[in-house]
Amino acid sequence: MKINYISLRPPITRYVIPALAVMMLWSCSKTVDEPTAGISSPSSLDENAGTWKPYLLASASEIPVAEPKQATSEDYKAELKKLKDATDAVTPQQREQINYWGAGAVFRWNEIARELCARYNSPPASTPDGKYPLPDAANPLKDPKFPFANPPYAARAMAYLSVAQYDALVAAWNYKFKYNRKAPSKNDASIKTLLPVSDLPSYPSEDAVVAEVSVVILKAMFPGEVPYLEAKLAEHKHSRISAGLNVDSDIAAGSELGKAVGAKIMARAKTDKMSAANGQAMTAAMIANAKKIGVTEPWVSQEFPPRPPMLPTYGFVKPWNFDSATVVALRPEAPPVIGSPAFQKDMDELLKIAKGQTREQARIASFWSDGVGSYTPPGHWHRKGAQLCHENKYSEVRTARALALLGTTMQDAGICCWDVKYYYYYPRPNQMSSKIKTSVGLPNFPSYTSGHSTFSGAAAEVLAHIFPSSKKEVDDMASEASISRIYGLIHYRFDCEVGLATGHKIGSYAVQRAKTDGAE
């Protein structure tokens, strides 16, 4: 007995205590490692980008940029001297900022915009009298915060951002190669540079153009973030000086161009019918129409208190790659009649998952949930697009082009899908059976077709065209995003399959543009 007792002790000290020590070590580090983006090193200068077709500018030279001072001028020499002093005085913190922005101007501002979308993606809380107050653009930080950056809102914000960056960079490239001012360190070899220097002419600064035009758009989309955006803007521009890559006049010319392009882009935003997208007064007529075309049990909000549906007239917002008549033409055929065998088949699939959702189904549903508090499906795809551009060593202007093609098709997909949703006003499966509960959160708008599927089909179509070697990868991602909504128990299979196919059709319009914009 004694022997038994003694033999117990060594294992405890030998294994348990070290095990505890290991656990403590696991717990000690509280730092989360995020994927880091390396310094951008474009494989091409894209010298001809000044001839690429802009979205909204009449031409690359619509906005004038004055000729810079000659490299031999006293003014420029003074700027070089100032730049040398700045690079000699770089602090460790500035060096960090240089490397951060060195990942790419478009890349970083796209990332900033996604983060803002996530931070503003909060549906208003109901008041004690059962109403949902509307966010107020004039008081953006008051509860509920403005905007509620839901998927249609995020799709539009990211579309405008990408188009603005692209048009501004096409203009910048035009002047860069027109004036051909060499990089400061190529005029004065004694300037220390902290990022790689290419043969890209430095006037106007592409970083200043992107930073300034991005801030114009993002201030309008996220009016509560003006101080944050201005701080980022100043940091970005300054990073180019402390890195020894741009003199003040490069930055100033880029800033002016960015601001002017931003104003042009915002003129469209003010008249694109987004301000009328929350047309709640029209839902009665929409429901009546849905009943007339055979939807016997139209969608009703499953929230308590019932929440008005999300942006019921977003389908009338102006699309990018086609006109509003095409939105109607792209509308898919009606979903199965409620109670029909086709309906029942897909309902049975959901009832089965409701009983025994597998861990893998739950994982896929969660991975693609992109719900409240996230950057939404358009943000998810922008992240993928930006990553692909970075991996493929795209120049700033080519990155902007890819994200503009992606961003515009994302908003087109949102517009088309919202048109379909409110045309058919089809109920969610959760409305048809109380046995169906979700593992991802139930969106507050009609079911048919799936927004995730439509966004993803369009995104995959565009990304597969731009990055043919990634076609399989993005197609697989889109299929998984689509089916995730079945696994998450909020969509019928027909919502997802029709949505995905329609998304691909929507994406093909952006692909058509890509083939003719002069960049391929």
Partner 1 sequence: MAHNLLIHYSMMRSLHQKGLRLLGILLTAAGPLCCAYAQMPNDAIYMGKKTACLAVSYTHSSWDQYWENSLKRENLNIGTHTTQSVMPMLAVGITKDFNAIVALPYVWTQASAGNLRWQKGVQDASLWLKYRFLNKSGFSLHAIAGASIPATNYIPDFLPMSIGIQCKTATARLLASYRHKSGVYLTASGSYIFRSKITIDRDSYQADDRLYNSNKVSVPNAYDASARLGYLKKAIQAEGFIEYGACDGGDNIRRNDMPFPTNNMRATLVGVYAKYQPKNIGVNARASHAISGRNMGQSTAFSVGVLYQFRYAKDANN
Q: Which residues of the chain form contacts with partner 1 (CB under 8 A)?
A: 1, 4-5, 8-9, 12, 16, 19-20, 23-24, 26-35, 114-115, 118-119, 122-126, 143-145, 302-305, 354, 357, 359, 362-363, 366-367, 369, 372-375, 380, 383, 430, 437-439, 441-442, 489
Which tokens is 341 given? 């065998």
Q: Which is nearer to partner 1, 353 or 511 (CB)?
A: 353
State the residue for tokens 């996230």: 374
Q: At what angle do helices 151-179 and 248-269 cross, to 10 degrees?
A: 140
Nearer to partner 1, 279 or 373 (CB): 373
At residue 167's C-alpha, the angle toward residues 163 and 169, to 5°, is 115
- Prior bond to 449 cis, omega within 30? yes
Which is closer to partner 1, CB of 147 or CB of 254?
147
Q: d(Cα 43, Cα 281) in Å, to the nearest integer?
A: 53
Min CB(374)–partner 1 separation in Å: 7
CB of 47 to partner 1, least distance (A): 33
List all residues 6 or more positions away from 304 whose beta carbon is below 8 Å from its beta carbon: none
State the virtual CA torsion across 277, 455, 160, 214 in degrees, nearest 10: 130
- Nearer Cβ to partner 1 (23/276): 23
Instruction: Report CA-CA distances (Å) from 311 to 16, 225, 283.
Output: 58, 23, 10
Distance of CA 235 to the CA centre of its chain: 22
Return the number of the residue (33 or 85) whose C-beta is nearest partner 1.
33
As measured in angstroms, the least distance from the Cβ of 436 to partner 1 is 8
Report the nearest approach of partner 1 to the CB of residue 295 (Å). Answer: 21
Can you tell me the distance from the alpha carbon of 251 to that of 232, in angstroms, rounded to the nearest whole number? 15
Q: What is the smallest separation between the CB atom of 59 and partner 1, expressed in angstroms?
A: 37
Cβ-based nearer residue to partner 1, 223 or 373: 373
Letter for the amino acid at 76? Y
Name the minimum Å distance from CB 388 to partner 1.
15
Closest distance of CB 8 from partner 1, Å: 6
Whether the Cβ atoms of residue 446 and residue 425 lie closer than 8 Å to each other: yes
**Considering beta carbons, is residue 338 or 372 the nearer one to partner 1?**
372
Shortest distance (Å) from residue 439 CB to partner 1? 5
What span, in angstroms and rounded, lies between the C-alpha atoms of 299 and 291?
A: 11
Neighbour tally for 237: CB within 10 Å:
22
